[in-house]
Amino acid sequence: MSRYRGPRLRICRRLGDLPGLTSKTSKKNTYAGEHGQQARKPSEYSLRLEEKQKLRFNYGLNERQLLKYIKIAKKVSGSTGLILLQILEMRLDNTIFRLNLSPTIAAARQLVNHGHILVNQRRISICSYQCEPGDIIQVKNKDSSRDLVKKYLNFPTLISLPSHLEIDKQKLQGKVNGVVERKWVALKMNELLVVEYYSRK
């Protein structure tokens, strides 16, 4: 199973703030483990691995999916790290999360799998669907779907809405106006270390 089912706050204590994984925050500031601290200075490999794990846990990917996205990003001209982030940010489950229609990416994935989401008036059940500029994402016109999303909207996880997205809270409808810029990526990380991690394998 690619889906992580273990303790989420433990991952956040080790890797830092991961808004896509959980909306909760830990009261503990130390590292997870018996002694709660790093034993020694991290190696270059461990730093790259940590950045890669941030991507995996935040976006809910398995190793095979992330490797596939890396290969796609390398084929496109431009900064591989930036293109990788743009591909991940334009996934349907992440777009729903960034529109504040769900508290986490995992919750957004469940909305998609259960058929609550329409893209351009069509029901899409594939979480990895790549949204494009001009796409209109809306909640299915059904009481159970709308009540669930309205409950999520009352307690938004992210404060600011990215510049490439807009939302109509009355209609429960969002629109993708463009491709996400690097400054609007909610995850704090160095994507170049992820590219280096896979280039050395």
Integer Cα distance of 85 and 65 in angstroms = 13
Domain boundaries, the chain: 8-87+187-199, 91-178
Q: What is the mean pLDDT of each run of 10 residues along the chain (201 residues)?
A: 69 76 69 60 85 89 90 90 92 91 89 91 91 92 88 78 88 90 84 86 61
Confidence (pTM): 0.84
Integer Cα distance of 99 and 193 in angstroms = 28
Look at residue 129 in the predicted model and tell me its pLDDT. Answer: 92
Residue 161 DSSP class: P
Look at residue 12 in the predicted model and tell me its pLDDT. Answer: 74
Domain covering 8-87+187-199 assigned CATH 1.10.3720.10 in the classification: no
Look at residue 19 in the predicted model and tell me its pLDDT. Answer: 76
Integer Cα distance of 58 and 18 in angstroms = 5
What angle is formed at CA 41 by the lines to CA 35 and CA 45, rounded to 5 degrees?
110
Per CATH, which fold does 91-178 belong to?
Answer: 3.10.290
